[in-house]
Amino acid sequence: MKWIENITVDPDGSVIIHWNNNTQPQQFSKIMKWIQSAQVSNDGTIRLNWNNEESTEFSQIIQWIENITVDPDGSAIIHWNNNTQSLFPRMMKWIENMTIDSDGSAIIHWNNNA
């Protein structure tokens, strides 16, 4: 009777089956594949390096905020890692200054002239 005594996997993904009766091991070359390492570049590109020396690249798949600026009119601009921008016009409002009129009423001056 013959049965599997041991199974080994080589770094290149080859599977070797060792039998109990000292027959020649059975080899299946490079049938397994796994991620050896992964890298993310500044533009959001992911590169997967496989155990069989192949690689797969996903261009600009990850996006993150690098910077946010606010213009004097309250517009917010989001600067993304892939050199794109998102504009949110006149989104923020704040008091620039306040004056008191001769009749005692307060006049509020906003950043967006509203």
Whole-number pLDDT of residue 114: 58
What confidence tens digit (pLDDT) does each residue in 89-110 have? 988 888 889 999 999 999 998 8
- In 3D space, the residue among 40, 14, 63, 60 whose CA is nearest the CA of residue 49 turns out to be 40
- In 3D space, the residue among 28, 46, 29 whose CA is nearest the CA of residue 37 turns out to be 46
What confidence tens digit (pLDDT) does each residue in 8-48 have? 999 999 999 999 998 899 999 988 999 999 999 988 999 99
| DSSP calls for 9-42 | E-TTS-EEEEETT-PPPEEETT----EEEEEE-T
The yes-or-no verdict on residue 65 having pLDDT over 90 is yes
- Which residue type sits at 83? N
**Can you tell me the mean pLDDT for 77-93?**
90
CA gap 106, 44 in Å, rounded:
50
pTM of the entire structure?
0.58
**Which bin fits 53, alpha (ψ -120 to 50), beta or left (φ > 0)?**
left
CA gap 65, 114 in Å, rounded:
29
